[in-house]
Structure 1
Amino acid sequence: MKVEQIYTGCLAQGAYYITSNGEAAVIDPLRETRPYLERLEKDGVKLKYIFETHFHADFVSGHLGLSKKTGAPVVYGPNANPEFEAIVAQDNQVFELGNVKIKVLHTPGHTMESSCFLLIDENGKETAIFSGDTLFLGDVGRPDLAQKAAHLSQEELAGLLYESLYNKILPLPDDITVYPAHGAGSACGKNMMKETVDSLGNQKKMNYALNQSSKEAFVKAVTDGLFPPPAYFGMNVAMNKKGYDSFDEVLSHGMKALSISEFQAAAEASGALILDTRSNIDFVKGFIPQSINIGLNGDFAPWVGAMIVDVKQPILLVTDNGKEEEAVTRLSRVGFDNVLGHLEGGFETWKEGGEKIDIVDRITAEQFAREVKIGEGKIIDVRKESEYAAEHVEEAYSKPLAYINDWIKDIDAREHFYLHCAGGYRSMIAASILQSRGYRNFTEVEGGFGAIAKTSVPKTDYVCQSKVLN
């Protein structure tokens, strides 16, 4: 028996590949099927099952593409109602895989169909649990995403999650290995550990959600501090439930190289968003006017999902040479399939062609320290509230990037302000969005708070509510 975790950092997502005696199973695969097909071929095994812990909200799963290419059935737990052929298992149903067994544990709460898969080895020993979004390391799945579909409140869903965890997971042996669907950085939880594998015994000791004194205390703990989910979550659920275009087709469209004239014509005809995936260091030096910068060298796909409201939005790409396929692939993972193509030769082609370019006004942290007058100059900090609360520039406003579509309307276009994040990635996203909507009355700080903290600029952890986005 072999168990392999296939972890994708930019999505903080874990898929799993299990083999035993010539047969294999994949749990929660990503959309591109090649990595799994290559493993199957290398190991000389046949894919018998594709297990889905639930209808995922934060990414488009590869269950349908992988099933089509291998003939393996897709398996869900109870209450699932996919709009395609699949096995909807019963609670405690057992699936044989080579010499091992996989048992379905229905664990509603995160969603109504959420299920964990218990791995039983050749000797009949319960050895691992693939916990999906039911149990994370250090946290549990948020209970607010399935309210509409379940016709239940987040408190009622949290109550179901409590029953699932305390009645089905906690009684399992301490030495069981926990393989969650997500780790730190995912929007599916709020307190996840950076580790991606742990023992159930350790989770019983240190996971706050597994150490509540009562069901009421559990409900309060897991529902406290939840932020609104990204807008694309609901659309990804629909794609996972109803079906979607094949990844091969999406990649083929996105890999279409466009000349400058073709690129311009496509933008004008379709109303496409120009997405520049270069680093903020390169973007700031020059970019196509009205383009949005979300760099591939960060949490690219989640930020695309958070910033671009509609997954059907037509997109034209500007990438570093050789990064076109990576950009299209990562966009497809969160359901942004309508990529019309990319600018052949990247931004340099545009620049050398004599086309109009734009820049962002960026200064160093040292310049910021010399220029800013605390109490007079307006400062906008686009980091998360928790980062801001830990320490921030005195008198800075907390305006998290995730909510820019809400707070941008409050910006006074006549008043200058300074803009920063932690290191420059998020503030350049914000800067590009601001400029695309006509705001040019700001200066972005290179290196963000990490660089500012090394200067003499006054800092504090005091949070003035008037400075915090409500």
Structure 2
Amino acid sequence: MKIEQIYTGCLAQGAYYITSNGEAAIIDPLRETQPYIDRLEKDGVTLRYIFETHFHADFVSGHVDLAEKTGAPIVYGPTATPEFEAIVAEDNQVFTIGAIRIKVLHTPGHTMESSCFLLIDEDGKETALFSGDTLFLGDVGRPDLAQKAAHLTQEELAGLLYDSLYNKILPLSNDITVYPAHGAGSACGKNMMKETVDSLGNQKKVNYALNQPDRETFIKAVTDGLLPPPAYFGMNVAMNKKGYERFDQVMAHGMQALSPEEFETLAETSGALILDTRSDKEFYTGFIPQSVNIGLNGDFAPWVGALMVDVQQPILLVTDSGKEEEAITRLSRVGFDHVLGYLKGGFSAWKESGKETDTVHRITAAQFAEEVNITDNKVVDVRKESEYAAEHVAEAYSKPLAYINDWIRDLDPGEHFYLHCAGGYRSMIAASILQARGYRNFTEIEGGFNAIALTGVPKTDYICQSKVLS
């Protein structure tokens, strides 16, 4: 028997590849399936089952394509209602893969169909728990995502989650290995550990949610401090439940190389958003007017989902040479399948064609320190609330990037402000959105707060972020 965690940092997501005696199972696969097909062929094994822990909200799974290509059935836990052929298992139903077995544990709470998969090895020992979004390391799945579908309040869902964890998970052996669906950085929880594998025994000791004295206290603990979920989550759930266009077709559509003239015409006639995936350091020196910059070198897909929201939005890509396929793949992982093509030759081709370009006014942290007057000048910090609370420029305003579509309406176009994040990635996203919507009276700071902190600009006293989050 072999268990492999296939972890994708951009999504903070773990898929699992399990083999035993010539057969395999895959749990929560990513959208692009060819790497799994290649791996199955290389290992000389047959895919027996595709297990889905629930209808995912933060990414589009590869379950439908993988089932079509391999003939392996998709397995969900009880109460799931997929709109394609699948096995909806009963609670405690057992599936055999080679010499091992996987037992379905229905654990509603995060969603109603949420289930964990308990692996029983060749010797009959309960060895591993694939806990999906029911149990994370240091946290549990947020209980507010399925309210509309289940017609329950988040408190009622949290109560179901308590029952699932305390009645079905906690009684399991301490030496069982926990393999969660997500790690730190995912929006599916609020306090996850950076580790991606742990023993259940250790989680019983350190996970705050598993150490609550009663059901009522648990409900309060897991619902306290939940931030609004990204707006694209519901659209991803629908795609995972109903099915989607084949990834191969999505890639074929997106890999249309367009000349600057073709690109410009399509941008004007299609209503497509121009998405520039270059680094902030390249983008600010020159870009196509109205472009939005979300760099591939950061948390690309989650930011696309959080800020663009509508998965039906047509997209035209500007990328570094050779990065087109990666961009299309990562967009498809969060359901953005409507890439119309990419600019052949990248921004250089656009510039060489003599077409209009734009820039962002960026200065160094040292220049900011020389220019700024904390009393008179406005500073906008687009980091997360927890980062701001830990330490920030004195008198700075907290305007998290995730909520830019709300706070941008409150800006005074006539009032200049300085803009920064932690290192420049998020503030350049904000800068591109601001300029695309007509706001130009700002100065973005290179290197963000990390660079500002090295200057003499007044700052608040540092507070450990673990205390901020606790």
Q: Indicate the residue corresponding to 1:359 in structure 2.
A: 359
- Distance of 1:196 and 1:165 partners within structure 2: 19
Matched with 1:88 is 88
SS at match of 1:460: coil
Q: Which whole-Å CA distance do the structure 2 matches of 1:224 and 1:442 have between them?
A: 35
Letter in 1 for 2:145: L
1:344 is the counterpart of 2:344 = yes
Measure, in 2, the Cα distance between the counterparts of 1:197 and 1:288. 43
The one-letter code matched in structure 2 to 1:319 is T
C-alpha contact 1:428 1:444 (8 A) present in aligned 2: yes
Partner of 1:38: 38
**Aligned mates of 2:38, 2:2 — CA distance in 1:** 16
- SS of residue paired to 2:10: helix
Cα RMSD for the two superposed structures: 0.8
Q: Give the aligned partner of residue 234 of structure 1.
A: 234
Kindly provide the amino acid, as one letter, of the partner of residue 308 in structure 2: I
- For residue 56 of structure 1, report the CA deviation from its aligned partner: 0.2
Q: Give 1:111-260 correspondences, 5 Å limit.
A: 111-260=111-260
Query: Which deviations, in whole Å up to 9, do the C-alpha atoms of 1:424-458 show, x marking residues without a partner?
Result: 00000000000000000000000000000000000
Structure 1 residue ranges, 4+ long, deviating more than 6 angstroms after superposition = none
In the TM superposition, residue 53 of structure 1 has moved relative to its aligned partner by: 0.1
Counterparts of 2:89 and 2:317, CA distance in 1: 42
Deviation, structure 1 residue 83? 0.4
Cα deviations by residue, 1:87-134 (Å, 9 ceiling, x for unpaired): 000000000110000000000000000000000000000000000000
Distance 2:145 2:309 in 1: 17
2:442 equivalent in structure 1:
442
Matched, 1:305 2:305: yes
What's the CA shift string for 1:334-377, capped at 9, x where partnerless?
00000000000000000111111100000000000011101210
Shift of 1:265: 1.1
Kindly provide the amino acid, as one letter, of the partner of residue 390 in structure 1: A
> What secondary structure sits across from 2:450 in the alignment?
helix
Counterpart residue type for residue 454 of structure 1? L
Q: CA deviation at 1:309?
A: 2.0
Number of residue pairs matched? 463
Cα distance between partner residues in 2 of 1:366 and 1:34? 48
Q: Secondary structure of the equivalent of 1:68?
A: helix
Distance 1:7 1:158 in 2: 27
1:19 counterpart = 2:50? no
**Aligned counterpart, 1:393:** 393
Structure-1 separation of matches of 2:24 and 2:363: 54
- CA distance in 1 between counterparts of 2:114 and 2:265 reads 45
Cα distance in 2 for residues equivalent to 1:375 and 1:460: 14
State the AA in 1 paired with 2:199. Answer: S
Structure 2: segments with no counterpart, 5+ residues: 464-470
How far is 1:302 from its partner?
0.1
Question: What SS does the aligned partner of 2:123 have?
Answer: coil
SS at match of 2:196: coil
What amino acid sits opposite 1:314 in the alignment? P
Query: What is the aligned partner in structure 1 of residue 468 from structure 2?
Result: none
Note the alpha carbon deviations across 1:110-160, whole angstroms, 9 max, x for none: 000000000000000000000000000000000000000000000000000
Inter-partner Cα distance in structure 2 for 1:281 and 1:197: 35
Distance 2:20 2:39 in 1: 13
Q: Distance in 2 between matches of 1:279 and 1:331?
A: 17
**Structure 1 unmatched ranges of 5 or more:** 464-470
Q: CA deviation at 1:462?
A: 8.9
Aligned equivalent of 1:431: 431
SS at match of 2:119: strand
Q: Distance in 1 between matches of 2:209 and 2:423?
A: 32
For 2:147 and 2:111, how far apart are their aligned partners in 1?
Answer: 8
Match of 2:76 in 1: 76
Contact kept, 8 Å, 1:389 with 1:461, in 2: the verdict is: no
* TM value normalised by structure 2: 0.98
Q: Is 1:370 matched up with 2:370?
A: yes
Aligned equivalent of 1:468? none
Please tell me the residue identity of whatever aligns with 1:378: K
Counterpart Cα distance in 2 of 1:459 and 1:35: 48
Q: Structure 1 vs Structure 2: percent identity of aligned residues?
A: 81
The question of 1:325 aligning with 2:325 is answered yes
Contact 1:286–1:358 (8 Å) recurs in 2 = yes
- CA–CA separation in structure 2 for the residues paired with 1:179 and 1:73: 22
Amino acid at match of 1:196: T
The answer for the alignment partner of 2:267 in structure 1 is: 267
Give the conservation status (yes or no) of the 8 Å contact 1:362–1:444. Answer: yes
The amino acid of 1:63's aligned partner reads H
User: 1:209: how far off?
Assistant: 0.5
Once the 2 structures are TM-superposed, how far is the Cα of residue 35 of structure 1 from its aligned partner?
1.2
Code of the aligned partner of 1:405: N
Describe the SS at the equivalent of 1:316.
strand
- Residue type of the alignment partner of 1:355: K
1:38 CA drift (Å): 1.0
Aligned to 2:467: none
Residues in 1 aligned to 2:234 and 2:145: alpha-carbon distance in whole angstroms: 8
